[in-house]
Amino acid sequence: MADVVRIEQREAITFVIVDNPPVNALSFPVRQGLWEALAAAEADLAQEAVVLVGAGAQFLSGADIREFGRPSQSPTLPELAVRIAAMSKPCIAAIRGAALGGGLELAMACHYRLAEQGARLGLPEVTLGLLPGAGGTQRLPRLVGVPLALEMIVHGAPIPAPQGLEAGLVDAVFHGDALEAAFRFVKEQPTEALALRRTDDRSDRLAGDHAGLFEAVRADLARRKPHLFAPQRAIEAVEAATGLPMADGLAREKALFAQCRASPQSAALIHRFFAERTVRKIAGLSRDVTSRPVTHAAVVGGGTMGVGIALSFANAGIPVKLVEVDKAALGRALQRAQNTYAASVRHGSLDAESVERRMALIEGVTDYAALADVDLVVEAVFEDVEVKRQVFQRLDAVCRPGAILATNTSSLNFDEIAAFTRRPEAVVGLHFFAPANVMPLLEVVRGARTSDDTLATAMALGRRLKKTAVVVGVCDGFVGNRMLFQYGREAEFLLEEGATPQQVDDALRRFGMAMGPFAVRDLSGLDVGLAIRRRQRAHAPAHLRWPTISDRLCAAGMFGQKTGAGYYRYEGGSRTPQENPDLLPMLEAASQDRGIERRLPDEALIIERTIFALINEGAKILEEGIAQRASDIDAIFINGYGFPAWRGGPMFYADQLGLDRVLERIRAFHAEHGDWWAPAPLLERAVAGGGTLTDWQPDRPAVVPKPLVGASL
């Protein structure tokens, strides 16, 4: 038997222990080991019950996702679940940590389930573009009823053990050791032998007419997540449980699972799963590097961004000092924090007690001397290099040696900021995305002199703040904003050529973007980018032509939602975009200035012009070493820019489309629209060599900080 599964016996109980670090995924050797262990327990006449447990922190975290895409090997998970269900001796799952996907499916095939108080039980397959394929869609509704089963399977969120107990998913909740709890459970049963209580034979929780519920869930999904393939198939599978005998239901589940597994969405979502974990691997960082503890933090600047960052710390349980220039500004900042929490209470995502606890972690201060003992400070002041100089020099003077100084700059020269201090090795960029307490992305900027332990500390902090932290090198806009600039520029050019904001936004939303580019600009304020655009233009080659619509709107005082008009009009403080009648004359004037006749582009062209601009810039960023790998760029776009996860991110999407096709269009755009579209050499080479962006490996081991394009920005 494979040593990832071992057997221990205590009296007449066989414990089958899965020990497959790090998370007890059900890889082939585990399945094989389980199969053999079950057979051995069945054959041993002295043994009366079998307990399934996981060694380490998790019970079983589901199928080994790395095996998807390879031919399946018997015993498969569905076979194993059927084997467990048919055991002639009672099987008990004793769950500590996570019982997810195939892990919970095996537990549901068992005759009894016990869960530790803190355990989490779920079927998250839809997050991988799949549905539960080892009987989960048939057994969960039999145990907990159709409404909760649908909820868990269609949305994929795990439930805590106590809720599982209430719902009938588990039979008892325990504290402490799983083996001990299972032993006691068996011994304390009133009859000598536990009944073989098979989930498959149950139908009581399936009773009733659920047609209306299925239709409502279908319609809700179609409205809220219109692109997603797997959740709709998952509904069909659960529906089968209510109308078909077990064996037929399992067959239906198998067929629907196969459809999902073959879908491009599943490939993309699995890519996303690994991308979000691979970001933690920093090439060139010695294994000996350890992160420093961050027990006390500070944020300088109580604007929207600074407060959002302070809230992130408080949400993670880290005491944070919020620095403002005077009492009045501090009062406004703390009020902003309080208001944000009050909104969470209104929406039901936080209770008043948690708010009180978290607010108590935020201490407002106006004197930098209060920062003498903090471990890390995040600067979030106005984007002006002189202001930053003053802040960093003061921080450098008051903060203890070894304290990390981080900047949230999104557009200034990071290395220049680090050089304002006598500790550039302890300076790192922490580029949060607004609203910082909500958005899951954190770009961690590694400057020319950032030390390895500073970087490791920043990455570990990102994880504590529950962010997807991605290391990026220094350049104008880092990874995300630099790529977004190309995307936005093309979107604006499309307007000058004849499109309307609505048309472009709708096309990109149908493509799957969370919001269209013009709605985003109106939300963040067109004036925000004005200074950046001016600076970029001053340093760009003179022959490049720039779009003019944003500037025309700004000149007319239309900065977006905050002024009631921008690319759209917003009536009476509403956030609902309506056509802005003042825009059309600007669009016409821009077209006239360029001497072009306005014509509506088709949707495919809108997508290619914007998304391929992202891809081309992404390939340049990769080659420059600003991002470590293509999947890091994908993680950035999914977590920070509303790129559809089910397309896997822009780089994966390019690979899926075929890089030759992408390059052909980029070359055509280059010929038609000029140098903005100069094809990335990496793309040219990947096409010539038949490679993909996802598989591309840099020649050098780590993110190499690059000097900024142009002079000091």
Among the candidate windows 99-107, 387-395, 614-622, 639-647, which touches ligand 3H9 by CB under 6 A? 99-107
Alpha helices (H) in 498-548, listed in sequence order: 501-511, 517-524, 526-539
Minimum gap (Å) between residue 24 Cβ and ligand 3H9: 8
Q: What residues contact 22, with CB distance under 8 A and at least 6 apart?
A: 56
Amino acid at 230: A
Give catalytic status of residue 253 as yes or no: no
Phi (first) and psi of residue 648, to 5 degrees:
80, 0
Measured from the CB atom, the residue of 65 and 244 that comes closer to ligand 3H9 is 65
Measured from the CB atom, the residue of 237 and 377 that comes closer to ligand 3H9 is 237
Instruction: Please report the sign of the dihedral spanned by the C-alpha atoms of residue 644, residue 649, residue 654, residue 656.
Output: negative
Nearest to 515 by CA among 506, 527, 524: 506
Measured from the CB atom, the residue of 101 and 301 that comes closer to ligand 3H9 is 101
Minimum gap (Å) between residue 280 Cβ and ligand 3H9: 7
Amino acid at 54: G
**98-100, strands of its sheet edge to edge:** 98-100, 120-122, 159-160
Catalytic residue among 105, 324, 379, 496: 105
Among the candidate windows 22-30, 390-398, 520-528, 530-538, which touches ligand 3H9 by CB under 6 A? 22-30
Catalytic residue among 116, 125, 443, 624: 125
| Number of Cβ atoms within 10 Å of the Cβ of 674 | 12
Q: What residues contact 652, with CB distance under 8 A and at least 6 apart?
A: 268, 271, 275, 630, 631, 634, 693, 694
Minimum gap (Å) between residue 357 Cβ and ligand 3H9: 24
Minimum gap (Å) between residue 122 Cβ and ligand 3H9: 8
Q: If binding is defined by CB under 6 A, does position 265 make contact with ligand 3H9?
A: no
Measured from the CB atom, the residue of 105 and 476 that comes closer to ligand 3H9 is 105
Give catalytic status of residue 105 as yes or no: yes
Nearest to 234 by CA among 205, 209, 263: 263
Minimum gap (Å) between residue 120 Cβ and ligand 3H9: 8
Minimum gap (Å) between residue 187 Cβ and ligand 3H9: 30
Considering only residues 123-162, where is the footprint of ligand 3H9 by CB under 6 A? 124-125, 128, 130, 132-134, 136
Nearest to 528 by CA among 302, 301, 304, 300: 304
Q: Is 356 exposed, middle or buried (0-12, 13-18, 19+ CB in 10 A)?
A: exposed
Total residues at interface with ligand 3H9 (CB under 6 A): 26
String marking each residue 36-75 x if it binds ligand 3H9 according to CB under 6 A: ----------------------x--xxxxxx---------
Binding residue for ligand 3H9 (CB under 6 A) from 33, 54, 101, 649? Answer: 101
Measured from the CB atom, the residue of 56 and 564 that comes closer to ligand 3H9 is 56
Minimum gap (Å) between residue 270 Cβ and ligand 3H9: 9
Measured from the CB atom, the residue of 136 and 473 that comes closer to ligand 3H9 is 136
Rg of the chain in Å (alpha carbons): 28
Q: If binding is defined by CB under 6 A, does position 277 make contact with ligand 3H9?
A: yes
DSSP string, 287-330: TT--PPP--SEEEE--SHHHHHHHHHHHHTT--EEEE-SSHHHH
Longest dimension (CA), the chain: 91
Question: Could you tell me the end-to-end alpha-carbon distance of the chain, in angstroms, rounded to an integer?
Answer: 63
Binding residue for ligand 3H9 (CB under 6 A) from 53, 91, 100, 703? Answer: 100
Q: If binding is defined by CB under 6 A, does position 25 make contact with ligand 3H9?
A: yes
Q: If binding is defined by CB under 6 A, does position 115 make contact with ligand 3H9?
A: no
Residue nearest to ligand 3H9 (CB): 101
Measured from the CB atom, the residue of 31 and 569 that comes closer to ligand 3H9 is 31
Measured from the CB atom, the residue of 135 and 529 that comes closer to ligand 3H9 is 135
Among the candidate windows 97-105, 234-242, 415-423, 640-648, which touches ligand 3H9 by CB under 6 A? 97-105
User: How far is it, in rounded angstroms, from Cα 70 to Cα 65?
Assistant: 10
Binding residue for ligand 3H9 (CB under 6 A) from 17, 33, 89, 105? Answer: 105
User: What separation in angstroms does the CA of 222 have from each of 165, 227, 392, 489?
Assistant: 31, 8, 50, 32
Q: What residues contact 496, with CB distance under 8 A and at least 6 apart?
A: 547, 548, 549, 587, 590, 591, 594, 596
Q: If binding is defined by CB under 6 A, does position 22 make contact with ligand 3H9?
A: yes
DSSP string, 666-700: HHHHHHHH-GGGPPPHHHHHHHHHT--STT---SS
Measured from the CB atom, the residue of 121 and 374 that comes closer to ligand 3H9 is 121
Tokens of 200: 């498959």
Minimum gap (Å) between residue 281 Cβ and ligand 3H9: 7
User: How far is it, in rounded angstroms, from Cα 550 to Cα 526?
Assistant: 7
Q: If binding is defined by CB under 6 A, does position 566 make contact with ligand 3H9?
A: no
Beta strand extents in 571-712 (DSSP E only): 578-579
Q: If binding is defined by CB under 6 A, does position 227 make contact with ligand 3H9?
A: no
Q: If binding is defined by CB under 6 A, does position 256 make contact with ligand 3H9?
A: no
Measured from the CB atom, the residue of 54 and 302 that comes closer to ligand 3H9 is 54
Minimum gap (Å) between residue 217 Cβ and ligand 3H9: 20
- Residues of this chain that bind ligand 3H9 (CB under 6 A): 22-23, 25, 58, 61-66, 77, 98, 100-102, 105, 124-125, 128, 130, 132-134, 136, 274, 277
Residues that are catalytic: 105, 125
